[in-house]
Amino acid sequence: MARIAVIGGTGYAGGHIVKEAAGRGHTVVSVARKVPSERVEGVTYLEGSLLDPTGLLAELQGVETIVIAVAPRGDMAGQTRPAIGQLVAALPADTRIGVIGGAGGSLVAEGGPRLIDAGEFPDDFKPEARELIGVLEDLEASDGDVDWFFVHPAAGFGGFAPGERTGSYRTGGDVLVTDADGGSYISGEDLAVAVVDEIESPRHRRARFTVGY
């Protein structure tokens, strides 16, 4: 079993990943600014912030995979990208990094534009999407010894459409996953299934991938 830490482990994506990983028997540490009142059995909950990479390193010694599920909004806007860069640069070489990005950086078709540039992406979400694209660009430019994966959820991913766990999903490489009707959706639980599957059986080393139904 793996030793996994989820930064942003009480948020929507992070909370589902924590639950899925713990349910499969992994040793899981959830890091967030506040410890929740409701906790998943067997999970260690720590107070911490992505903005304090030195403190995180001290708390996460021995962790094999760190999943970052922090949205660059509110007081994290403009700070998420540099904070992730600092953390990645300071981690031991044998630590694998996973980042939950947004749908905006995925391509609408092979060789096509990114979703954010395709014409119908909401303006309110563009700053967040662009910062996460920047995180991906930094990972792609990182030293070849850094092992990472970056996940683009489907466009219809979030607490506004929670769905349920089916245990199934599709990946689309760089391209947004859509159904036969052009819809793009993944539940929080099935995104977590995809993430923990990637941790258990890596198929995307130093690569991004999209997830949907």
User: Residue 12: left if φ>0, alpha if ψ -120 to 50, beta else—which one?
Assistant: alpha
Q: How far is CA 52 from CA 14, 77, 90, in A?
A: 18, 15, 12
Domain of 116 in residue numbering reads as: 3-212
Number of domain units in the chain: 1
Query: Residue 142 sits in a domain of what CATH number?
Result: 3.40.50.720
- Name the DSSP class of 162: -
Distance (Å, whole) CA 200 – CA 213: 21
Query: What pLDDT is recorded for position 126?
Result: 97
The structure's pTM equals: 0.96
Q: Per-10-residue mean pLDDT for the chain, 213 residues long? A: 96 98 98 93 96 91 97 95 96 95 97 94 96 98 94 96 94 97 97 98 98 98
- What's the token pair of residue 14? 């992070």
